[in-house]
Every structure is written in structure tokens, then in C-alpha cells.
Amino acid sequence: MDWIYYKPLFEYDNYHISIKDNSAWSGHRNFAYDLVRFMKPKKIVELGTHYGASFFSFCQALKDEGLSSKCFAIDTWQGDEHSGLYGEDVFLTVKDIVDLYYSSIAELVRTTFDEAVSRFEDQSINILHIDGYHTFEAVSHDYQTWLPKLSDNGVILFHDISFYDNEFGVYKLWNMLKEDYPAFEFKHAFGLGVLFPKGNSKKFNEIIQRATELQKRYEKLSKYTGLS
Ligand SMILES: C[S@@+](CC[C@H](N)C(=O)[O-])C[C@H]1O[C@@H](n2cnc3c(N)ncnc32)[C@H](O)[C@@H]1O
């Protein structure tokens, strides 16, 4: 099966508050969308959702693919020192968008990542997106805690692998992990790492080899749409 570069319409763009303009992640939404349609995952879990740019991009792909899969967003919806502390309006916006466009797909889990982990069976998550607090210690903890929940051939996405300022340490963890496991990465929009810590299915062999083509394509698209 070939990788398809879709031209999706993200329904959450119709909402009266712009979600994509409220996120440093938005430059990855086309890749995330195409990845989900390629993988057809049964379960996606996101650690760190904020306004939902990444989360709703996953949800849109599941919806358009017509899958009965579930996408879980885990967040306290209080913010942290890196994203800034924010008010209740953010959670209410996310909930409203779920109700409007993604009610049969999306599940909001409003708690800490550590409190949520026992709700998921081992080896049950096909795509795990780690985008919480960004110190080396925090992201390493999230990775170690959630790794048992990832399925064989599952994918972990890490945001901010190319952000080197302040206390951000995702790049340090990423530089270690990508040496040990099949992986590819995007540098634009603060960077997105794509890791297969439990091996990759056959259909990803060719995609990993074509990583440079994908990097160029999504970086260009991100710049073109003003989202990088
Ligand atoms: C960088 S933002 C997520 C951005 C989002 N993925 C996007 O597409 O815009 C990080 C989020 O993680 C949440 N967060 C950080 N640490 C957390 C923890 N330990 N448990 C639950 N939520 C946490 C914060 O509340 C914040 O909303």
C-alpha cells in the first residue's frame, strides 16, 4: 500500500476560534492526518492536547477513513510552565469542538498522564503522541511510563525535537532513541520525531526509506500554509 498525500478539509477550521493558529504544532497536521489514514490505527492516545490542533487532526483522519477507532486526549487542561497556565475556556472550547465534529471518535480524559496510564491495557495503543511538559526528565518519564502500553509495530510521535531553548530537553531524549530504533524526523514546526520502539510493520519499511521525500514535502506544505 502506498503513502497518500491527502488534501484534507479539517472541520475544526470552521470553528469560530482558530485552533491551528493557537498551536506551535500545526505545521505537522498534514503528516499526522496522512499517517493515521495510512496506519488505520484502532487506538490513538495523546499526552498533551491544549486547544487540540494535533488531537483534532488525528480525529479528522479517523473520521474521513470511516474507522470506528478511538482517539483519547489526556490533559489537565490547566497548562504548565512551558505552554503557560490557562483558564477553563480552553477545555470548554475543546469539548465544544468534540461535540460538534468528533463525538463518536474523541474521548477527553481530564487528569494527569500518570493518573490516566492504568486505564489503558498493555500493548493496546497504536499511535502515542507525547507532547506534555518538555523538560528532559518529564518527557523521559512520559516515554518510560507509557511504553508498555504501545502495541507491537506501534508509533510514538514526539513534538519539539528541534527546539533547543530554555529547559526544553525533548531533543536530548530523541537523539538517544533514534539511534536505537527505527525512526524518522521532521525539523520544521519545532520538530516531530516518529519512533518505532517495538519494531515497524513491513509497510513502513519503504516509508522510512523515503523519509527525505516526506520531510521535503511536509516542510514545504507547512511553509506554504504559513504553519511552520
Ligand atoms: C504543548 S501543550 C500541547 C499542545 C498540543 N499537542 C497542540 O497540538 O497544540 C502541553 C499540554 O500538556 C499538558 N500537560 C503537561 N504536563 C501534563 C501532565 N503531567 N498531565 C496532564 N497534562 C499535562 C498541559 O496542560 C498542556 O495543555
Per-residue pLDDT tens digits for 162-184: 999 878 999 999 999 999 999 99
Assess if residue 157 is contained within a domain. yes
In a domain, 9, yes or no: no
133 lines ligand 1 (CB under 6 A): yes
The mean pLDDT value of the chain amounts to: 95
Assess if residue 3 is contained within a domain. Answer: no
Q: Is the pLDDT confidence value at 76 over 80?
A: yes
CA of 210 to the centre of ligand 1 (A): 31
- The pLDDT score that the predictor gives to residue 166 is 76
Is residue 147 exposed (0-12), middle (13-18) or buried (19+ Cβ within 10 Å)? middle
- Containing domain of residue 104, as a range? 17-224
Give the CATH number, domain containing residue 143.
Answer: 3.40.50.150
pTM greater than 0.95 (yes/no): yes
Residue 87: is its pLDDT beyond 80?
A: yes
Sheet order of strands, 183-186 included: 106-109, 70-74, 43-47, 125-130, 150-159, 192-195, 183-186
Q: Does residue 13 register a pLDDT over 70?
A: yes
Ligand 1 in contact with 132 (CB < 6 A)?
A: yes
Q: Is the CB of 174 under 6 A from ligand 1?
A: no
Report how far ligand 1's centroid is from the alpha carbon of 73 (Å).
10
Position 10 scores a pLDDT of 97
Query: Percentage of the chain with pLDDT > 90?
Result: 92
Question: Is position 8 within any domain?
Answer: no
The answer on pLDDT for 228 being more than 60 is no
Q: Look at residue 1 and tell me if it is in a domain.
A: no
Task: Please tell me the total count of domains within the chain.
Answer: 1
Residue 227 pLDDT grade (very low, low, confident, very high; cuts 50, 70, 90): low
pLDDT digits (tens, 9 = 90+) for 29-59: 999 999 999 999 999 999 999 999 999 999 9
User: Quick one: average pLDDT of 58-62?
Assistant: 98
CB of 58 within 6 A of ligand 1: the answer is no
- Establish if 2 belongs to a structural domain: no
Residue 6 domain-assigned (yes or no) = no
Could you tell me which of 142, 148, 154, 145 has the C-alpha nearest to residue 182? Answer: 154
7 belongs to a structural domain: no
pLDDT of 22: 84
- 135 within ligand 1 shell (Cβ under 6 A): no
Report the nearest-CA residue for atom 18 of ligand 1.
112
